[in-house]
Amino acid sequence: MMTSPHSILKTTFGYDEFRPLQEEIINRTLEGKDSFVLMPTGGGKSMCFQIPALIFEGITIVVSPLISLMKDQVQALRGNGIKADFFNSSISPQEENEVIDRAMKGEIQLLYLSPEKLISVSNTWLKELNIKLVAIDEAHCVSMWGHDFRPEYTQLKVFRNSLPEVPFMALTATADKSARKDIEEQLELKDSKLFISSFDRKNLSIEVRGMVPKKQKLQEISRFVENKRGESGIIYCLSRKNTEEVADYLKEDGHSVAFYHAGMNPEERERVQTEFINDETKIIVATIAFGMGIDKSNVRWVIHYNLPKNLEGYYQEIGRAGRDGLPSETRLYYNMRDFVLYSQFAEDGANSGMQKEKLNRMLQFAEAKSCRRKILLSYFGEHLTKDCGNCDVCENPPKDFDGTILAQKALSGIARMQEKEGITLLINVLRGSNNAEVHSSGYFNLKTYGVGKDISFFDWRDYIVQLANQGLIEIMYAEGSALKITPLGWEVLKEGKKVKLTYPVTAEEKEKRKKKPKVVRMVDEGEVNQDLFAELKKLRYSISREENVPAYIVFNDKSLKQMASELPVTENQFLAISGVGMNKMQEYGEEFMEVIRNFKQVAKPKKIPTTLQTFNLFQEGKSPEEIATLRELNVATIFSHLSQSYSEGKNIDLAQFVTKEVVSKVKNAFDELDRKMELKPIYEHLGEQVPYHEIRISLTLILRDE
């Protein structure tokens, strides 16, 4: 048995370096100590318990409420040559006995159980196993302060107490300070150390659009999806009805799409999820029930059709995009109707006050005028020093001003009220209100009473939300939503650290900002040969069908792109590819290297220019959409190829793809913008109503005719 974490990381999983905190967590676990791991979705939590499991001489128990994720992770582990299995309600009694038999014989290194199953067998055969580590995944489910509380999780403390010498590891991607404390107490972790990894998913762009009418929203989503044709994406909706409406709308536009919600029978839901995981369906329109158990690495975008009910859920849902680290986009639509509906739901639910406060926080995020990534990270206790440059607010920043004195007034009020009051009472004190609560509390005697009377209630609320979004104050939901000053806030109050605030945005300004298109910032992926990448994807798909596993279990997109960039043809070169361990090298290496060798020998000297390949297929009578599918390229790229071929004098009827009215509009915009050959200003000038490929075609026709 290997004993070095680094050796296992490289040989088994195919990675050269640990991500931040992973090695420290693993070493602490090997010392037999408890840990609390807070890492974002796609941040590498699983590796923290999987590597110790391969070093310990015994079995590791992984508790997870997500049945489909268990299956995914077990398939991935087996793909790397690891002895893993799961025990949950999805398997038959005969399969249960087989798992028990293998576990008792020491033939399983990692065993995944649902909390219900673990509780039911904890005093039977499970007691006979040589358990060396217990990992509690989705640990936020144990806390009433978490966004997905599950009562059965609270019984895990009994299991914990039955194994006093075994290290326990709690893992979650979403837990605020109130939930973290509750999780440690509920699971009775002993002298545990909290590990908080950066929640900054730089590869995700963030965009929010508010108060968009339904018809326009559907049109915008359709245009967005058209520009991502062939890519995997998820659209989250508030209601079952919405999922079916949006899916039907996109189907009419010829997209590979299915809906998913709790009203479907289990077999149908399983089929839809499996087809999405296996890339047979590209787009899923779903309620938030979808995706919890999905480890699909190549989801390129996530859209929220409605306002999510809290930031934890929102962050977890957008985190399903770009798990392979490649650039991915997220877009959130919201309106006040969503907010009112969720408020009504919260009235009837458990912890009503807390749920409503979290909903308020979600709305504040949606209406924010400062860097959205800063707000998200601040909510999870992480503070960026600079704006991210990859969200809609950073792309179209509002006007700011030096808000240091204004911030100090608010922070001073919080301090003098001993950090035990909420936003409304603070504003009433700052504005010198004469209401009963201010007087009964004696707050009219404070020095800060009335220091902000020249600012309206709603503007004060806007500014205080900005302070929270910038990480100067925290809202403690477990303490009646009391405002607490963070270390950064104390720097502002005591040391005069400067604060930038933005002026409250009027409805007219919001409308102007909404019309400005965002810029997607790409991550450098190296020079990827798209033709070879397409061939490697075909081979991967063939293997995945033969082995009945999702394609990304074989290799993820990031590994394939690196292969298509570095062209490895020897074992050592292939093992140097990220995500290629020894087992995958032995299982699949020769097949993939053979494709690469053939490509190097044949394709390179005879390579046909990409625009000519598109032109030849067009001459054969194939439509741009068919060519895009065949070549696995974006349809907008195909139109670009056809426009270039037309400019070169090739015989193409380009005018069939655009109306005379659109050409006229583009010509007017082109002339008004000093005839600059840039698509984005024209797109913006036309109010985002004309797709980029139609602008490109129109310009080509205009210039050719001149």
Placement of tokens 């704006």 in the chain = 387
* Long-range pairs for 350-357: beta carbons < 8 A, 24 or more residues apart: 350/144, 350/149, 351/144, 351/145, 353/480, 353/481, 354/145, 354/477, 354/478, 354/481, 355/309, 355/310, 357/475, 357/477, 357/481
pLDDT along the chain (706 residues), means of 10: 79 89 95 92 88 95 85 88 92 93 95 91 92 92 70 85 93 80 88 88 92 90 92 93 95 93 87 87 85 74 94 90 90 86 76 84 88 89 88 86 95 95 93 90 93 91 86 82 92 94 64 44 58 91 86 89 91 89 90 92 66 88 88 81 83 88 89 77 82 85 76
Q: Are 55 and 32 in contact (CB under 8 A)?
A: no
CA distances from 465 to 398, 417, 493 (A): 16, 18, 17
pLDDT of residue 179: 80
Q: Are 686 and 651 in contact (CB under 8 A)?
A: no
**What is the enclosing helix (H) or strand (E) of 317?**
helix 311-318
* Total Cβ atoms within 10 A of residue 377: 21
CA 333/CA 312 separation, integer angstroms: 17
Indicate the Cα dihedral angle 670, 671, 675, 676, nearest 10°.
-50
Identical topology for domains 400-504 and 610-705? yes
3-class DSSP assignment, residue 332? strand
Cα R_g (the chain), whole angstroms: 28
Q: Are 239 and 327 in contact (CB under 8 A)?
A: no
Name the β-bridge partners of 680.
Answer: none
Give the 3-state secondary structure of 82-146. Answer: CCEEEECCCCCHHHHHHHHHHHHCCCCCEEEECHHHHHHHCCCHHHHCCEEEEEECCHHHHCCCC
For every residue of 660-685, DSSP letters joined together read HHHHHHHHHHHHHTTT---HHHHHHH
Cβ contacts of residue 340 below 8 Å, gap of 6+?
Answer: none
CA 184/CA 170 separation, integer angstroms: 8
Structure tokens at 2: 């290997």
For every residue of 455-513, DSSP letters joined together read S-HHHHHHHHHHHHHTTSEEEEGGGTTEEEE-HHHHHHHHH----EEEPPPPHHHHHHH
Q: Are 285 and 259 in contact (CB under 8 A)?
A: yes
Name the β-bridge partners of 36.
Answer: 170, 194
pLDDT of residue 70: 86
Q: Are 305 and 578 in contact (CB under 8 A)?
A: no
pLDDT of residue 502: 85
CA 353/CA 390 separation, integer angstroms: 33
The torsion region of residue 283 among left (phi > 0), alpha (psi -120 to 50) and beta comes to beta
In CATH, 610-705 is 1.10.10: yes
Phi and psi torsions of 591, nearest 5°? -65, -45
Structure tokens at 569: 């043809």
Give the right CATH number for 204-395 from 3.20.20.10, 3.40.50.300, 3.60.40.10, 3.30.70.380. 3.40.50.300
Task: Give the class (CATH, top level) of 400-504.
Answer: mainly alpha
Give the right CATH number for 530-601 from 3.30.360.10, 1.10.1040.10, 1.10.150.80, 3.40.50.970. 1.10.150.80
Q: Are 581 and 50 in contact (CB under 8 A)?
A: no
Task: Give the class (CATH, top level) of 5-196.
Answer: alpha beta
CA 514/CA 442 separation, integer angstroms: 44
pLDDT of residue 290: 64
Q: Where are the domains of the chain?
A: 5-196, 204-395, 400-504, 530-601, 610-705
Residue 302's nearest CA partner among 206, 218, 384 is 206
Q: Are 111 and 148 in contact (CB under 8 A)?
A: no
CA distances from 479 to 178, 353, 475 (A): 9, 11, 9
